[in-house]
Structure 1
Amino acid sequence: MRILQIIDSLEAGGAERIAVSYANALIRHSEFSGLVVTRKEGPFVNQIDSSVSYLFLNKKKTLDFKAVFRLRNYVRLNKVTIVHAHGTSFFIAFLLKLIYPKVKIIWHEHYGGRIRESIRDNFSLFFSSIFFSSVFVVNHQLEAWAKKNLLVKKVSYIPNFATFEENYPNTTFLKGNDEKRIVCLANLKKPKNHLAILIAFQEMKLNDLGWSLHLIGKDYKDGYSIQLKEFINKNKLENFVFIYGSKNDIKHILSQITIGILASTTEGFPVTLLEYGCAKLPVVSTNVGYCPLIIKDNLSGLLFDPLNQSQLQQQLHKMISEKSLRDRFGMQLQEFVFNNYSKAKVVNLLLNKYKTI
């Protein structure tokens, strides 16, 4: 098999991370593994294995025919048989199929919020799906949505997996007290619901108890970001809540953390929870998307409704109050992640799906 991953950007995000991880993993399992980025590079470009064939198209607009023909030439030159398009890159994959029909197209959906959208909201996706050989999704809700709304017979659930890149130096040293650090590993954007975490931290007066909160993820410096920073300043939390932006040394960061938290109002399959598990962290998590299948409530972590502020605070209070509970949850989650979402297991499933295309 000669397989190409396509993604629109290499900004720090879940879909982008998975596209790079797939390209890197497939080097040892296929004749050719490539990665094409259509629109914008980003920090994940540094995580691409040197053995992966890489192309940046620098696409400037939706219908950029120059970029499409560059992609066709690349696919033809490298004798690519399967194009695995992640997220919004489905459209350029569709255009490629029109001018190079022999290639097989797989679309991989990572966005959990799609389940609340109709065909009318996704007309271009609906039409393009005629040309897909298969669709991969990251949770069973998306699987049901795709089967109902898209013109493709093969729809498969493929779980994510998490790996820590070992080639990054330990450059991020967190502020705050040891054994009393909470992290939210998520880009600063609306569905991630950071404000709910900030409100809980402030109303519970966790700073008076010596706790600190650390927000790791891309800061878009937009209205959402400004709202968070204004809340921090208004409540005089500058010495207890810290925003770091995107970071590469995630394994090192999580080794300094006591509790992991995720409060998204929408999720597909968050790699963040797998990373928390790999780091043996106890987790307080939103109950949306695939999260309840990773975090088993009161067994490997605590779940809450992201729209219920009091429930979030109750679960967070329970977690910070009982160290023995944290130790047990962290151990259970790590074991569950290693047993069910290992790189080897997911890549083997992926290869089997490719073979059916």
Structure 2
Amino acid sequence: MKVCHVITSLDIGGAELVLYRLLSAQLINAEDISVITLRPEGVLAAKLREVGFKVYSLNVTGLLSLIFAVMKLSKLLKVINPDVVQSWLYHADFITSLSSLWLKNIRYVWGIHTCQLPKGKPATWLIMKCCALLSHRVPDKIVCVAQAAQQLHVRSGYAADKITVIPNGFAVSEYAPEPGLRQALRRELQLPLSAITVGIIARWHVDKGQDIMLEAIKRLQIANPEVIFLFVGRGCDADNKEMARLINACPYPEKILALGERSDIPALLNAIDVFCMPSRTEAFPLALGEAMCAALPVVATNVGDVEYMTGNLVTLANPADSASLAECLSSVLANSAEYRAQLGRNLHKRVSEHFSIDQMVKRYQQLYSSLQS
């Protein structure tokens, strides 16, 4: 079966990484899989091409080029001649739907990776509303990564009978705890081996709630002055003046490190003791799943499918509530190291049993096969 994936971008992002991991687990089928990005090629394009996947770019850079992209995509799909086209994110769903007017005998699957309707982006909101109308005519199936995303989009007018949920999958073994990695990274960061360290891994964005986290830290540091907090992600660095202001408002700003974007996330997860996700909104968060793979105890807000992910093993904080977040994190920190280790083991067991990359690949393959019968 020939499958073509159409995605808005191949830069680093949630949906982009899910696609990359999905394809990386199917190298044996690389010759039957192609990828088209609407925007100019991102860093993941080269990585996919290196391992044998065919990657194309439509070079969309604005609304005008978006119009021409429909014809370019139609021509390209005629050459590729796939059995199934899987699109990812609103813009790709919309463009592939328009291209279907000129194509025959192709099955279409859409992908939805958000639990929040577009805010402050009128063009994206309009495309989403157009997709809601088109959903009743064009796609054969619509894949949501979270039950919360399914419910939101049904309320927004999407065809309920076409929607299925396939949770994100994780390469569990890549994040296995390794004492050597922990010691090496702690030496690099000049962290005492015995210090309790809390990690927050996400790009700086209002949805990710780093401001809420720093407000919670102001409360926490009064009773926990020895705890070290690590912020990791694009924009979490010394150049971020807003972040610096919030850090300096905390009782012990020297215990808060902003490390910026890093590529050694498995090592970082080995180096911390507790993972915290203070997001205002998520669907099926990758960073949280990776922390579970690393057998870390987690503290998170009750957004998207986080409750389902964690399987009621964790007391979740209220979104956008620094007091609630501080209370949940304080409870975990106040418990023994053995309690935290057992919580981490339980979360590792859950992600291994329910959300492995192999399970995700199997679900997508079963979906595509069902469209051919």
Match of 1:124 among 121, 125, 130: 130
Per-residue CA shift, 1:123-177, capped at 9, x if unaligned?
22223322111100012232234445124732100010122797xxx89744533
**Secondary structure of the equivalent of 1:85?**
strand
Q: Do the aligned partners of 1:164 and 1:250 also contact (CA within 8 Å) in 2?
A: no
Match of 2:359 among 335, 339, 345: 345
Match in the other structure for 1:71: 73
Distance 1:115 1:293 in 2: 24
Match of 2:200 among 181, 184, 187: 184
247-256 vs 174-183, greater mean Cα deviation: 174-183
Distance 1:133 1:55 in 2: 24
**Secondary structure of the equivalent of 2:303?**
coil
Distance 2:12 2:317 in 1: 26
**Secondary structure of the equivalent of 1:303?**
coil
Aligned positions of 1:233-312 closer than 5 A: 233-235=248-250, 239-297=254-312, 299=313, 301-312=314-325
305-314 vs 256-265, greater mean Cα deviation: 305-314
Per-residue CA shift, 1:186-210, capped at 9, x if unaligned?
2211111111111111222179632
Q: C-alpha displacement at 1:229, in angstroms?
A: 2.5
129-138 vs 303-312, greater mean Cα deviation: 303-312
Distance 2:61 2:293 in 1: 38
Aligned positions of 1:95-244 closer than 5 A: 95-114=98-117, 122-129=128-135, 130-148=137-155, 149-151=157-159, 153-163=161-171, 173-178=188-193, 179-205=195-221, 209-219=225-235, 225-235=240-250, 239-244=254-259
Q: Do the aligned partners of 1:3 and 1:30 also contact (CA within 8 Å) in 2?
A: no
Q: C-alpha displacement at 1:31, in angstroms?
A: 5.7
Write the letter of the residue equivalent to 1:3.
V
Distance 2:5 2:170 in 1: 17
Write the letter of the residue equivalent to 2:61.
K
250-259 vs 48-57, greater mean Cα deviation: 48-57
TM-score of the superposed pair, with normalisation by structure 2: 0.83
Q: How many residues are matched? A: 349
**Can you give the 5+ residue segments of structure 2 that lack an aligned partner in the other structure?**
120-124, 175-180
Write the letter of the residue equivalent to 1:81.
D
TM-score of the superposed pair, with normalisation by structure 1: 0.87
Q: C-alpha displacement at 1:341, in angstroms?
A: 0.7
Q: Which has the higher helix share?
A: 2
**Can you give the 5+ residue segments of structure 1 that lack an aligned partner in the other structure?**
none
Q: C-alpha displacement at 1:213, in angstroms?
A: 1.5
Q: What is the identity percentage for the equivalent residue pairs of Structure 1 and Structure 2?
A: 22
Distance 2:151 2:113 in 1: 14
201-210 vs 6-15, greater mean Cα deviation: 201-210
Q: Do the aligned partners of 1:20 and 1:35 also contact (CA within 8 Å) in 2?
A: no
**Secondary structure of the equivalent of 2:5?**
strand
